[in-house]
């Protein structure tokens, strides 16, 4: 269950494992029917099948029965007191399950950048806007794709300011 949830967080939300292991149970916002995941602002919606998986994971998290972790708030509790699962350990487990994390995360964010403006994606997934803008440009996209119309000419009625105008 832990590997499935971690894999989904990487594949759907392009999150690095170092950030995924730092998520807490409070980052899973269960407000009635919807189950958004707080990665940035606003919280990202979680599709229904994934929401069920996430809620099941919350109810059956591993490493909770040890004397050191009975009240752990980490989404992926580790074996040491008050610490989340190590990202290197989780990466090794996912790689062993044939989930190529680095390639999958890169593909996930590039796919999302084809569908959403870079600043919007940055806010929603907790990335820096310069990072998403750089990745967007690497995928061959430009800002002109976000608004309809001919962006090669000036708008009608627009006159450039002359020096001395205020």
Taking only the tens place, the pLDDT of each residue in 103-137 is 888 888 888 888 888 888 888 888 888 888 888 88
Residue 31 — pLDDT band, cuts 50, 70, 90? confident
Quote the number of domains for the chain. Answer: 2
Instruction: Tell me, yes or no, whether 138 and 87 share the same domain.
Output: no
- pLDDT value, residue 61: 83
- pLDDT value, residue 88: 93
Q: Is residue 18 part of a domain?
A: yes
Q: Is 97 exposed, middle or buried (0-12, 13-18, 19+ CB in 10 A)?
A: exposed
Instruction: Tell me, yes or no, whether 48 and 121 share the same domain.
Output: no
Instruction: Tell me, yes or no, whether 25 and 42 share the same domain.
Output: yes
- pLDDT value, residue 24: 92
Q: Is residue 53 part of a domain?
A: yes
Nearest 10 degrees: CA dihedral of 11, 12, 16, 19? -140
What percent of the chain clears pLDDT 70, i.e. is strictly above it?
80
pLDDT at 159 over 70: no
pLDDT tens per residue across span 50-73:
999 999 998 888 766 665 666 788
- pLDDT value, residue 164: 59
pLDDT at 34 over 80: yes
Instruction: Tell me, yes or no, whether 41 and 110 share the same domain.
Output: no
Q: Is residue 163 part of a domain?
A: no
Instruction: Tell me, yes or no, whether 38 and 94 share the same domain.
Output: yes
Query: What is the average pLDDT score of the chain?
Result: 81
Instruction: Tell me, yes or no, whether 85 and 128 share the same domain.
Output: no
Paired with 31 in beta bridges are 34
pLDDT at 79 over 60: yes
pLDDT at 147 over 70: no
Q: What angle do CA 114, 117, 119 make, to 5 degrees?
A: 135
pLDDT at 81 over 70: yes
Could you tell me the pTM of the whole model? 0.72
Q: From CA 159, how far away is CA 147, in angstroms rounded?
A: 21
């Amino acid at each position: 269950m832990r590997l499935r949830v971690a894999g989904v967080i990487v594949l759907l939300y392009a999150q690095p494992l170092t950030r995924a292991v730092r998520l807490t149970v409070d980052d899973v916002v269960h407000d009635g029917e919807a189950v958004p995941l707080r990665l940035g602002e606003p919280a990202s919606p979680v599709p229904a099948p994934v929401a069920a998986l996430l809620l099941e994971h919350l109810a059956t998290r591993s490493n909770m029965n040890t004397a050191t972790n009975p009240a752990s708030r980490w989404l992926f509790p580790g074996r040491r007191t008050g610490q989340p699962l190590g990202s290197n350990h989780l990466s090794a487990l996912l790689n062993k399950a044939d989930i190529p994390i680095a390639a999958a995360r890169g593909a996930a964010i590039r796919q999302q950048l084809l569908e959403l403006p870079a600043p919007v994606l940055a806010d929603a997934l907790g990335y820096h806007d310069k990072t998403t803008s750089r990745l967007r440009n690497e995928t061959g996209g430009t800002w002109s794709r976000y608004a309809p119309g001919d962006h090669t000419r000036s708008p009608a009625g627009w006159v450039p300011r002359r020096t001395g105008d205020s």
